Structure 1
């Protein structure tokens, strides 16, 4: 008879999917059209439990203080729930409920081009919201929607949805959290801080209206030759992604410098402890030689030295993930342009 490997107190794992109202997708699109190179953030609202394992996102609004926040570099945290923004999202939720809407705060969105959407405060906010869900006896994940305006200009909706990964949740609840030992044990890296969640957009009619705004692509030979060159929108995307990458690498190097500083100090402290232990050992040996009953010195280095606290690699993980996301964005642009160029070349 097979053993049941599920622990008695273990919470069953539920795979949720997202149903996104087309009005929300169009609103994100409109926000991106205002300034494609701005980073805009805001709360998302909706409900769950009506359909099995489906979270419905029905409303969103941008934080007024972060709308059109552009040219952010790696050292600036573009997502920060200041008191004004927290109050803003609560007031908006109260207005929704005043209209008999059963909406709840489900997470946040980031409208950003170039692949930059990670920040320490947005990850911490997602975790705190998920803890609130857990305290209210709900197992749904907090949600992050990422919309890329520059990629969407190409003629398709570049929108993805994420939740905190199991590896991240295990790490943040462990002792000492983001030290190297816990990262290894929980298999957490910069690549799996977040997990992608499948999204279905509700309301084909609204999407069809949006699609009708796109210009038809001509296929004449002259146009095909022209299409072999990178168009201005794609070039703008590449240039902006490169600028984001440069800033994120600076942020990464800053965090790497902090980690190296910690490691150098730790190595010096360990060398001092080893020298002290050898000296005490030598002193005790000399005492025993002169007097076998002599009182020996304490050999516990903890009474003389205090090591630095284990270094948290949380911010380092965020910075590394940021660089990885932007590089993946550049690679996807390259792959698309290569496929387009190859197809057009074959048709000439």
Structure 2
């Protein structure tokens, strides 16, 4: 939420504003984890009104996938910079970072992402309980409204028989007809977005392990031949 509020203020004042996300842990393993994001126009419009009801989200055709828009990132050096770097370091020695990239273990990253996933699933479960509670109350209220209307119609039928004026069937001040506020779906959308990101990272780690295993098997086979 803090990121969205800060980003919204920046994006309203700076038209070409983006949020750069960098993961130093993954980058230390030889994968440049760099991503550029911006808030989608549809999400910003709803966030200004704070109207994240199911009806409004369906009207805007907005899902948790449409909160952010990813901007392609291309990192490159000019020819002069590349030439200068080669002149400054003609024989670049291996650094600790270079050796770290050779470590293929993904246990710390996998464990961390799974822990985050568990936390997000707990948060999502709590959000679902809010909606279950809301829909139970809504169903109970609708049943009470139908019972009240049936009773009032029966009473009005008796009053008409006796020549009396019927009572109104709509009473806005009646507690039975009080509008129940639907919980905001913003938190559940943000949690779903986080779950998707963590799952993507886990899949990326598994794909990397598979590629490394295949490469090792091929090299072993070549040496045996």
TM category (shorter chain) comes to 0.7 to 0.9
How far is the alpha carbon of 1:238 from its aligned partner? Answer: 0.5
1:335 to 191, 207, 211: 207
Find out whether 1:190 has 2:64 as its counterpart. yes
Is structure 2 residue 6 aligned with structure 1 residue 125? yes
CA distance in 2, matches of 1:159, 1:127: 21
Calculate the aligned-residue CA RMSD, in Å. Answer: 2.9
Q: Deviation of residue 197 (structure 1)?
A: 1.1
Unpaired segments ≥5 residues, structure 1: 1-119, 218-226
Alignment of 1:298-313 (within 5 A): 298-304=168-174, 305-313=177-185
SS at match of 1:302: coil
Give the C-alpha shift of residue 335 in structure 1.
1.4
Instruction: Return 5+ residue gaps in structure 2 as ranges.
Output: 221-225
The whole-number CA distance in structure 2 between the counterparts of 1:342 and 1:319 is 35
Instruction: Please tell me whether the aligned partners of residues 36 and 71 of structure 2 are also in contact (alpha carbons under 8 angstroms).
Output: yes
Give the equivalent residue in structure 2 for 1:296. 166
Alpha-carbon distance in structure 2 between the residues aligned to 1:281 and 1:211: 90
Flag the 1:326–1:303 CA change in 2: closer, same or farther, 3 A: same
Q: Quick one: which of 159, 180, 194 aligns to 2:34?
A: 159
TM-aligned CA deviation for residue 143 of structure 1: 2.2
State how far apart, in whole Å, the 1-side matches of 2:99 and 2:120 are.
Answer: 37
Which of 47, 56, 61 in structure 2 is aligned with 1:172?
47
More helix by share: 2
More strand per residue: 1 or 2? 1
Rate the CA distance shift 1:288–1:325 in 2: closer, same or farther, 3 A: same
| Structure-2 change in CA distance of 1:266 and 1:129 (3 Å) | farther
Deviation at 1:251, TM superposition (A): 1.2
Structure 2 counterpart of 1:252, from 121, 124, 128: 124
Q: Aligned pair count?
A: 208
2:26 and 2:33 in contact (8 A); partners too: yes
Candidates 46, 55, 58, aligned match of 1:181: 55
Shift in Å at residue 343 of structure 1? Answer: 2.8
Deviation of the 1:241 alpha carbon: 0.7
- Deviation of 1:142 (Å): 3.7
Larger of the two Rg values belongs to structure: 2
The equivalent residue for 1:285 is: 157
- Taking the aligned partners of 2:25 and 2:66, their CA distance within structure 1 comes to 25
8 Å CA contact 2:120–2:195 kept in 1: the answer is yes
Q: Residue 326 of structure 1: CA displacement?
A: 0.8
Instruction: Output the CA distance in 2 between the equivalents of 1:310 and 1:261.
Output: 10
Q: TM-score, normalised by structure 1?
A: 0.54
Deviation at 1:194, TM superposition (A): 0.3
Structure 1 residue 167, shift from structure 2 partner: 2.8
Q: CA deviation at 1:256?
A: 1.5
